[in-house]
Structure 1
Amino acid sequence: MRLGVTHKLFLAILTAAGLAVICSALIMQWRLNRGFNNYLNSIEKAGISRLAATLEKSYGTERSWGSLARNHERWRQLVISSFPMIPLEEIPPGDQMPPPAGMPPGAPEEHTDQNSARPHGLLPPPMARRFDQRLYLLDADKRVVVSRVMAPDASRATPLRYRGAVVGYLGIMPRTRPFADEPQRRFIRDQEQALTLTAGVVVLLAAILSLLMARRLVRPLRELAAATHRLSSGVFSVRVPISSRDELGELAGDFNSLALTLEKNEESRRQWVADISHELRTPLAILRGEIEAIQDGIRQPTPQTIQSLHGEVLHLGRLVDDLYQLSMSDVGALTYRKSELDLGDLLSETVAAFRPEFSSKGITIVESINDTAGTTVFGDPERLRQLFTNLLKNSLKYTDAGGTLIVRLQANGDMATVDFQDSPPAVPPAEMERLFERLYRVDSSRNRSTGGAGLGLAICRNIVEAHAGSITARPSSLGGLWIRIEIPRKGTN
């Protein structure tokens, strides 16, 4: 039989509670037995002390133990008077004191009224019988005066003194069993039954609470397991309620974050497939239309027609190359051969290569990269050149003729900062955050006639992140777009 988490947790809590209750009951029982035994011993010690004082006083009056040896009833009265705290019932006839040593059985005791009722004292019959049977009195020579025990031990006896001299010994034999009397045993049994009942009730309550607690603790796990099954089947909209602030609540929050991420990734994947299909379908449709027109004789395979077909093929090739570059950078398969390089020199060379194209369109490039001190970075020169090339191409394509492009490089703390600011057209602020998404184009500035597929900035972001940097977009003071790149300087990344 396979046990679930609920049963395992229930058994663990119940076992811990049961062991705690059993240990507590055993300790309490041990303390009860020991405490009750100490209580009985204290009663006996107090009675022995009082009886010893009484015997010493009696000896001082009579100067001998003869009267006690002959009159056993008087001895009994002295024993009874030593325990005045508990009512006494009449001792049964079978518990009479045997005659003193040397006295024949049945001999009358002096000073005893045979017709009088047996006196009532303050010692209960069980204790009177047990206590009286264990007492013994010896004279100064350690001969037995009164004793119901065999071979009394004088070494354990309490000396009795009169005027400084030892005149006798009073002793009591130790109990053969801790609780020999029935009332004592009944009291201990009652306490043990109460402890057992208490332990049973506590274990029962612990079982009920353990079951409730186990179900309470396992319920979030069951909900999480069911949600995980739904998530694995492709239902990314599933969420689990967060009912606590403990580790289970944190786990539920992490699951919801994971489900949200997977849902967004699924939406991005679907959008990505749709966008790629759309981007590839357009040049393919143009090629198909041109070729079919040539086949039908509508158009002639003139150099202009061939040039148009070649342009669409180039456009399709660039799109496929961009997709390949982006996919490689996403999976981290792009090779980076990093070394120490001067970012200013690399940026100047890239800008110089594009100056003729910007001049032909009437766009002025303003450079602020002469002072390159402190802009040495650890990076891949080819990938960084690709980064700057993509940004310069974007400005060249989307900046209106007669505009301006400012390229600035400076050291800003631990980072080397590169800024590209161009003139109109501008990008709406609401769409700034989406510029680095794949295949995203701003309708007012980007269109297929300029050859943009919306992959250049996505590739730029991957290259910057591979260099532990960041890239952001914001409105430019010139009225266009401002792209800022921050890359850690040498010795800071």
Structure 2
Amino acid sequence: MSLAGRIILGTAAVTAFAMVAAAALVHWVVRAYLSPFADHFATMRRMMGWGPDLETIYALVDHALAISLGIAVFLGVLLGLLVARELVRSVAVLDEGLARFSRGLLGQPIRLVGPPELTRVAGSANRMAEELGGAQRAERELVAGIAHDLAHPLTAMRGTLEAVRDGLTSPSDPRTMTRLLTDVGTMETTLADLRDVAAAEVGALRLELHDVDVAVVTGGIAASFADLAARKGIRLELETGAPKPIAARTDERRLARIVANLVVNALQATAPGGRVGVGLSARDGVAVLRVEDAAGPNAGAAIRAALDGQGAGLGLRVVRVLGRAIGAQLDVRDGQAGATVELRLPR
């Protein structure tokens, strides 16, 4: 039996049961109240020729109760029909919405109609669909980032191999092997970043924590990008701000990856003739790393979007995920010349 049929049948049955019980009670009360006067009514009829007839009264009461029972059952069925219609309509809206979600149409929320219990279910389903939609968008952006980061080394490798095939360069030339190994290393780094991001987002990233001189790590990363900055015509400046070591208990390899990604992002965003600054200081028991670019006043918004996984490439998404994993705090500040990304590490 359908939901509507069960509601109508249930309402009619409950109404009929209640009315039968009420009729039996009224029947008993009327008889109990009038039966002591049966002899008086009989005497009136003998002496005066007329008077109340208890059997007739009982019959009229029973007839009125039967009519009332029929009317009550009819009204109960009508009320059940109205309730069932509204409830079935609400369930149908919920069912249609869930069917849309099952087809992948997560951007079409379920209308909140019907009783509070069903609207709460619909609201929970809408929140679930919103979270699933966010996860799908993040997955698409991650795939796009992987494709973006792998495209450059693959293209470079193809160019090198085609040059060897066409005789433009010799496979025995050490520079050929160096270029290929560099491109392979870039792809390995991208895959390692992808593994770290996947592990960190499920809480399975294994960290190797020990006391690290952040100044040494930062200086090494800055030195490794000096040639790239020079080729792009960008001034890469390192400001440590303190002659003594600045130590923090962290994962050195993941910290180096964060710093490298921030510097690469700044170099990519800064035009030739600009400046990229890498600064390091210690204050209030925290090691503070700053990377400044010269990408213009809108650079901060672009960095925030990329940190949330909305930009091309994995670089800044890796910064956000690994930074959170090692307990660092990230802050992006806007400026006229560009943006400053500040990374704060507990010492």
SS in 2 for 1:236: coil
Structure 1 residues 32 and 433: alpha-carbon distance in aligned structure 2, compared to 1, 3 A threshold: farther
How far is the alpha carbon of 1:282 from its aligned partner?
Answer: 2.8
Equivalent of residue 454 in structure 1, options 275, 297, 314 = 314
Q: CA offsets per residue over residues 317-356 of structure 1, 9 Å max, x none?
A: 1112111221222333323578xx8xxx54xx13333335
User: Is 1:363 matched with 2:232?
Assistant: no
Counterparts of 1:230-309 in structure 2, within 5 Å, are 230-244=100-114, 246-301=116-171, 302-309=173-180
The structure with the largest helix share of the pair is: 2
How far is the alpha carbon of 1:193 from its aligned partner?
Answer: 1.1
Between the aligned residues of both structures, percent identity stands at: 20
In 2, the alpha carbon distance for the partners of 1:467 and 1:21 equals 72
SS in 2 for 1:435: helix
In 1, the alpha carbon distance for the partners of 2:177 and 2:140 equals 35
- Amino acid aligned to 1:354: T
Contact 2:112/2:123 (<8 A) preserved:
yes
How far is the alpha carbon of 1:364 from its aligned partner?
Answer: 0.6
Counterparts of 1:154-173 in structure 2, within 5 Å, are none
- Scaled by the length of structure 1, the TM-score of the pair is 0.56
| Unmatched tracts of structure 2, length 5 or more | 227-235, 268-273
The match for 2:198 is: 327
Contact 2:258/2:323 (<8 A) preserved:
no
The match for 2:289 is: 420
SS in 1 for 2:191: helix
User: Is 1:314 matched with 2:185?
Assistant: yes
Counterparts of 1:165-204 in structure 2, within 5 Å, are 183-204=53-74
| Unmatched tracts of structure 1, length 5 or more | 48-78, 81-85, 92-120, 128-182, 412-416, 442-452
How far is the alpha carbon of 1:206 from its aligned partner?
Answer: 0.6
SS in 1 for 2:240: strand
Contact 1:358/1:365 (<8 A) preserved:
no
- Scaled by the length of structure 2, the TM-score of the pair is 0.76
User: Is 1:25 matched with 2:23?
Assistant: yes
The match for 1:156 is: none
In 2, the alpha carbon distance for the partners of 1:310 and 1:234 equals 43
The match for 1:72 is: none
Contact 1:275/1:439 (<8 A) preserved:
no
> What root-mean-square deviation, in Å, do the aligned CA atoms of Structure 1 and Structure 2 show?
3.8
User: Is 1:390 matched with 2:257?
Assistant: yes
Equivalent of residue 410 in structure 1, options 284, 289, 296 = 284
Q: Which has the larger displacement, 23-32 or 186-195? A: 23-32
How far is the alpha carbon of 1:367 from its aligned partner?
Answer: 5.5
SS in 2 for 1:420: strand
How far is the alpha carbon of 1:393 from its aligned partner?
Answer: 2.2
How far is the alpha carbon of 1:297 from its aligned partner?
Answer: 0.8
Structure 1 residues 402 and 324: alpha-carbon distance in aligned structure 2, compared to 1, 3 A threshold: closer
In 1, the alpha carbon distance for the partners of 2:197 and 2:169 equals 37
Equivalent of residue 482 in structure 1, options 318, 336, 341 = 341
- Amino acid aligned to 2:340: L
In 2, the alpha carbon distance for the partners of 1:281 and 1:326 equals 19
- Amino acid aligned to 2:306: L
Q: Please tell me whether Structure 1 or Structure 2 has the larger radius of gyration of its CA atoms.
A: 1
Structure 1 residues 465 and 477: alpha-carbon distance in aligned structure 2, compared to 1, 3 A threshold: same
In 2, the alpha carbon distance for the partners of 1:123 and 1:419 equals 115
Structure 1 residues 309 and 194: alpha-carbon distance in aligned structure 2, compared to 1, 3 A threshold: same
In 2, the alpha carbon distance for the partners of 1:435 and 1:274 equals 12
How far is the alpha carbon of 1:187 from its aligned partner?
Answer: 0.7
The match for 1:35 is: 33
Aligned residue pair count = 326
In 1, the alpha carbon distance for the partners of 2:14 and 2:242 equals 76
Q: CA offsets per residue over residues 352-409 of structure 1, 9 Å max, x none?
A: 333355476431123699999xx9xxxx843xx4453333324443266573514445
Q: CA offsets per residue over residues 232-285 of structure 1, 9 Å max, x none?
A: 233333332112571211222222222233333333333433332343233212
